[in-house]
Structure 1
């Protein structure tokens, strides 16, 4: 089953490299993930419908989801200042349908807090409507810990990578929405 984030990866990889600059180089595995299929109806490979919205309103909503994720981290540190972006919904009219992505990173004040932050996310996400669909090391040389979760209510998926061997150590957070439809008579604004 093709996951929502994996579908999104193909559509936004080049745009993400531009937006993330140096961070994209530091996070070569960003968004090459398997977000679980719980956001779908288990009868299709489609990305879930997230509702009708303008691009700006949907981006604001995803940034609020990111802020809530940041609060769940629960340790002192600094988040990167990145904005959300808009991408196409695979197989749908790009003038009318879109998805929102919001990649960011978190660097704890103390490297030892990285483990605490990841463990808090693993235990707190389910208490806030997220279903953790996978958790464990990836196949990279560094064996980064990956957490993938879906939130059916928010029609969003997230992949969080604990990059303990990065300099500096950090969490890479990649949030992506379901598929929105622009209001009648409006086209998707790209940013």
Structure 2
């Protein structure tokens, strides 16, 4: 069964075509689950830590792109009070032959580290890229990873997204 948040996020605007989320609640609504109360900056830092944990699980030599998280709205919630964080980044293995090794390691290591793989296999693109979607209830986050073997250079494309945060009372959502 695919997670409710993953399915909802995959229906996001085309500019964010490979976003995932997390199945953090057992209800049957399409609502994105709560990630708690936080400022935008603190939530951004937490999402970057999740990305760093995933980077460590890759286990092959390579380089990650230098990108910062961004603040997004939570559908059906007041955008002045609620937000979620998206951190999109890429991993470029030192050797192209290590790309499949990196993806296989993630498929093996993510479940050992609290992630539930909710989807794995070829995507619908003409390249039939291997895609992995996983949720982590503890981190209140989801990840969507695409193995882009035919890119020049080959890479893993990763989107880490949080559940919906609510800003503390008296604060506003900071957009960046």
- When normalised by structure 2's length, the TM-score is 0.92
**Any idea what the Cα deviations from partners look like across 1:15-45, whole Å, max 9, x if unmatched?**
x6xxxxxxxxxxxx533x6x5x632324322
Structure 2 counterpart SS, 1:56:
helix
Q: Secondary structure of 1:190's partner?
A: coil
**What is the rounded CA distance, in whole Å, between the counterparts of 1:2 and 1:69 in structure 2?**
20
Give the one of 127, 130, 136 matched to 2:121.
Answer: 136
Cα distance in 2 between the residues matched to 1:129 and 1:177: 15
In the alignment, which residue of structure 1 is the partner of 2:60? 75
Counterpart selection for 2:97 from 105, 112, 132: 112
Report Cα offsets for 1:62-120 as digits up to 9, x if no partner. 00000000000000001000000001110111010000000000000000000110000
Q: 1:9 to 1:143 in 2, by over 3 A?
A: closer
Cα displacement string for residues 128-152 of structure 1 (whole angstroms, at most 9, x for unaligned residues) = 0000001100121111000000001
Q: Which runs of no fewer than 5 residues in structure 1 stay unpaired?
A: 17-28
Assess if the C-alpha contact under 8 Å between 1:12 and 1:87 holds in 2.
no
Distance verdict in 2 for CA 1:170–1:103, change over 3 Å:
same
Higher fraction of helix: 1
Residue 164 of structure 1 deviates from its aligned partner by 0.6
Alpha-carbon contact 1:162-1:170 (below 8 Å) kept: yes
**What is the Cα-based RMSD across aligned positions, in Å?**
1.9
Q: Which runs of 5+ in 2 are unaligned?
A: none
Q: Which residue of 2 aligns with 1:61?
A: 46
Residue 5 of structure 1 deviates from its aligned partner by 4.3
Q: CA deviation at 1:10?
A: 6.0
Q: Equivalent residues in 2 for 1:171-190 (5 A)?
A: 171-190=156-175
**1:28-177 matches, cutoff 5 A:** 29-31=17-19, 35=21, 38-177=23-162
